[in-house]
């Protein structure tokens, strides 16, 4: 990416739906687990490139609430891979001054994985660089529902009046608050948002690529950002 004035217009918040690990594995004649392992390598490349570009927040859709419909064996693989990756990468993230946040209904994870997540988030909490958000067992419907439950509970206890509830107040109860996404990228050719960050994607620019996630590299990210920079963001105005 050339260092022109336009190329300096880097989106502050990039979110990625990392799709295509299974299809990559099938195309290469290897087990699905190997596709997920190769997907982790692509994550490393994205984190590295986003740090280079000084992206403020990178959110990765790692595991959706709908992924629970997969086989128990594959879900077990994914959870184990998540745990292994956390242990392997945490010191590298810390060295890169990256903060970590994990959003979603984490109650489905076993105690060991929940502890690893909590310990990793705590270790990186004082860092001041890019924020890396992992959406794990996350869904946009779930996020909005849990926000409504928080507000309803507060209202029932007399903690908040109906006239105090507005968009800004509601957003504070979402997993990422009002941290809107500038650019959403989805790999593998699918052109939908699949229940991901429904509130925060209201005015996001969407970029779809046929590239399967394990093959999505820094040059692919640069092309997505180039496309973003050529768009006229109006946020609902003419």
Higher pLDDT, 97 or 236: 97
Whole-angstrom distance, CA of residue 160 vs CA of residue 158: 6
Over range 19-30, report the average pLDDT.
Answer: 96
Q: Which pLDDT value is given to residue 236?
A: 64
Over range 184-191, report the average pLDDT.
Answer: 97
Residues contacting 112, CB < 8 A, separation 6+: 83
Q: Which domains does the chain have, with CATH numbers?
A: 6-139+183-229 (3.40.1180.10)
Q: Which pLDDT value is given to residue 137?
A: 93
Phi and psi at residue 44, to the nearest 5°: -55, -45
Whole-angstrom distance, CA of residue 223 vs CA of residue 50: 13
Q: Pick the catalytic residue: 19, 143, 179, 182?
A: 19
pLDDT above 70 for 7:
no
Active site residue 222: no
pLDDT tens readout for residues 131-142: 999 999 999 999
pLDDT tens readout for residues 70-79: 778 888 888 9
Phi and psi at residue 195, to the nearest 5°: 65, 35
Over range 39-53, report the average pLDDT.
Answer: 97
Q: Pick the catalytic residue: 21, 45, 67, 232?
A: 67
The residue length of the chain stands at 238
Active site residue 119: no
Q: Which pLDDT value is given to residue 212?
A: 98
pLDDT above 50 for 30:
yes
In this prediction the pTM is 0.92
Residues contacting 114, CB < 8 A, separation 6+: 106
CA neighbours closer than 13 Å in the CB half-sphere of residue 169: 14
Residues contacting 153, CB < 8 A, separation 6+: none
Confidence of residue 235 (pLDDT cuts 50, 70, 90): low
pLDDT above 60 for 238:
no
């Amino acid at each position: 990416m050339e260092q022109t004035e336009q190329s300096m217009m880097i989106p502050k918040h990039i979110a990625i739906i990392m799709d295509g690990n299974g299809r990559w594995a099938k195309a290469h004649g290897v087990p699905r687990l190997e596709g997920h392992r190769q997907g982790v390598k692509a994550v490393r490349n994205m984190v590295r490139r986003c740090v280079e570009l000084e992206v403020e927040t990178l959110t990765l859709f790692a595991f959706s609430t709908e992924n629970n419909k997969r086989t128990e064996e594959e879900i077990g693989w994914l959870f184990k891979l998540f745990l292994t990756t956390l242990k392997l990468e945490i010191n590298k993230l810390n060295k890169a001054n990256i903060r970590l946040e994990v959003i979603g209904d984490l109650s489905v994870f076993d105690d060991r994985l929940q502890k690893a997540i909590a310990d990793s988030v705590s270790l990186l909490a004082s860092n001041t660089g890019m924020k890396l958000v992992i959406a794990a067992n996350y869904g946009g419907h779930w996020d909005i529902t849990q926000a409504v439950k928080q507000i309803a509970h507060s209202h029932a206890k007399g903690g908040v009046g109906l006239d105090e509830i507005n968009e800004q107040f509601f957003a504070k109860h979402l997993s990422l608050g009002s941290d809107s996404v500038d650019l959403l990228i989805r790999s593998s050719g699918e052109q939908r948002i699949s229940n991901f960050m429904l509130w925060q994607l209201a005015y996001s620019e969407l970029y779809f690529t046929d590239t399967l996630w394990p093959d999505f590299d820094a040059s692919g990210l640069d092309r997505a950002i180039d496309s973003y920079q050529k768009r006229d963001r109006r946020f609902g105005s003419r």
